[in-house]
Chains A and B, each alone.
Chain A
Amino acid sequence: MMNEVVPPKEWEELSMFLDEQLNPKDNERLESQIQQSPELQSALDELRALRSLLRSQPEIKAPRNYSLSADTVGIQFKQRNVGSIFPALSFAAVIASLLFVFVFISDLTYGGPQVYQSTNVIEEQAEMQLMEKSFPESALSGEEDGDFGEVTAVPLEPELGELEIMEAETEELKSVQDETRQIEPRYQGESQPGKAIDEVNNNLPHLLRYLISNRMALRTLEIFLFIFAIAAGMGAFYFYSKRD
């Protein structure tokens, strides 16, 4: 006769007691309860009978031989590879799309080669100053006035030797170079729009700075990323539709 008075909690404890999964203290407590309660004893008997019954169930004979052939394993390898292509392609499509958006926004935000124009202007100004120091306006204007012959015709002072002339020229050149070097620090201290742009440029990765300064490379990368994202997305869709 089936036992129907044992609550689920005690049934669970009986189940664990049967499989010797209770700790020694609970095991001892439940054992004494079973001895005092015919309902628990009956439930335990039923559990024991059920477990024995289930354990006596025979194995079901396989309807065929499941030995694998090389072809079967080979085919499954291919199917597995196809299955692993879908997540790889979808991941690549997402990454390419993100990169494309990033490069495109960078291009719009930093303005490409125009950014570097500010730096180039400063460099050109420095070169001009160097030129002016090396060739004074009087000399240049004399050349323009056709007095070049007079300048070259001025005789050298008899007390200066060639060595002294070279030293004087070297000193002159050094002073011009020093002044030129001071242009950038002076520029940094000033509040000009180009300063902020150059600071941003300096913080960008080298590759990105190169790309921004080279519009052709940037456009090529944008087109490549765009095509790659589309192709990977279509490939992922294809393998998704082929997936079982």
Chain B
Amino acid sequence: MDEKLLIVEAQKGDLDSFNRLVLAYQNMVYSQAYRMMGEPDSADDATQEAFISAFNKIRTYRGGSFKAWLLRIVTNACYDELRRRKRRPTVSLNPQNSQDAQTEFPGWFTDPGEMPEEAAQRSELREGIESCLKKLPVEFREIILLVDIQGLDYKETSNVAGLPLGTVKSRLARARFRMRECLNLFGELFTAAHRFVGESG
């Protein structure tokens, strides 16, 4: 069914229509939450809260990009979750290494059709990017996720983050600068990244 039609039905209170939207967007929402929070338990909570909040607020949706609207909600849910975790710190049950990075990287990141060496290198690259994203301050992370990973333009990012356009521009530049510095620590990783990008592009 058409997305707009599903939204209209959901605005009338139809939970089934809303759940079809959930199925269409849950990977995107969870990805944003995971990268914002940096660990799966908090991401899971934030995603659940985001969809409940989206259902409760869907009557306030007034057109435009539904993806951007959802991203705004999940971003707010992540900030709420971060505040809650700050008040009541929890210990993750997942194994972590000494650098506070998760050693178990999600299996779905690997492409089954890849050569083992290439897959390992690509996996290492993705792990490096995720690790560098995690090291960014959350206000920089939020912006680079919205622009460079979710593909929003500056104006949409400004609306989603509730920040002036100038702040978005400067935070994005600083986030990219820090990402480059971080990836530089991985040695040949960034060179490999050039190659992967060249292959995919």
User: A residues engaging B (CB < 8 A)?
Assistant: 2, 8, 11-12, 14-16, 19, 21, 46-47, 49-70, 72-73, 76-77, 80, 244
Contacts and interface: CB of A to CB of B under 8 A. Distances in A.
A14 B125 CA distance: 24
Interface in B168-185: 169-170, 172-174, 176-177, 179-180, 183-184
B149 interface: yes
Interface string B171-201: 0111011011001100000100110110011
Interface of B: 15, 18-19, 22-23, 26-31, 34-35, 40, 44, 47-48, 51-52, 55-56, 84, 106, 108-109, 125-126, 129, 144, 147-149, 151, 153-154, 169-170, 172-174, 176-177, 179-180, 183-184, 190, 193-194, 196-197, 200-201
Contacts of A64: 44
A76 B54 CA distance: 12
B47 A15 contact: no
Given A21-B154, A50-B176, A56-B196, A16 B169 contact: yes
Nearest to A15: B173
B197 A49 contact: yes
B106 A8 contact: no
Given A53-B129, A56-B197, A73-B15, 14 more contacts: A12-B170, A14-B173, A19-B154, A21-B169, A53-B193, A54-B129, A61-B30, A65-B22, A66-B30, A68-B19, A68-B51, A72-B52, A73-B56, A76-B56
B197 A52 contact: yes
* 7 interchain residue pairs of minimum CB distance: A12-B173, A54-B148, A15-B173, A62-B30, A67-B19, A60-B31, A52-B197
Nearest to A14: B173
B76 to A, nearest CB: 15
8 contacts: A11-B173, A11-B177, A16-B169, A50-B190, A54-B148, A62-B26, A67-B23, A68-B52
A185 B176 CA distance: 85
A63 B30 contact: yes
A80 B183 CA distance: 43
Of the listed residues A11, A51, A58, A59, the one surrounded by the most CB atoms of chain B closer than 10 A to its CB is A59
B190 A2 contact: yes
A63 B44 contact: yes
A79 to B, nearest CB: 10
Contacts of B106: 60-61
